[in-house]
Amino acid sequence: MRYTIKLPQDQQDIVVDALKTYQKAIESLCPTENETISNTQFDLYSLIGMFKDKEIEIRIEMDEEIHNSFVHRGHNVDFPIYD
């Protein structure tokens, strides 16, 4: 059996904040002429847009076995229960 969980907007907002922090760190430490850094910055803008857009639903899919063993996969917490 597969689980499909819609990530709530509150959790999406946490991801946006983390991505923005990462983006600022990259911009402050690295020259923008570096192609890898430029590509990463572009990807960050895209990801921030996807997670920030309230009309886009972010879903997580996994097998039941992965869901049930989440804590034992090195995460030290059970998979969150979202309404």
Give 17-49 pLDDT, tens digit per residue.
Answer: 999 999 999 888 766 677 888 889 999 999 999
Binning pLDDT at 50, 70 and 90, where does residue 83 land? confident
Q: What percent of the chain has pLDDT over 70?
A: 96
Residue 34's pLDDT is what? 77
Q: How is the chain split into domains, by residue range?
A: 2-73
Residue 32's pLDDT is what? 66
Radius of gyration over every alpha carbon of the chain, rounded to an integer in angstroms: 16
| Element containing residue 58 per DSSP (H, E) | none
Q: What percent of the chain has pLDDT over 90?
A: 77
Tokens 């990801």 — which residue?
A: 47
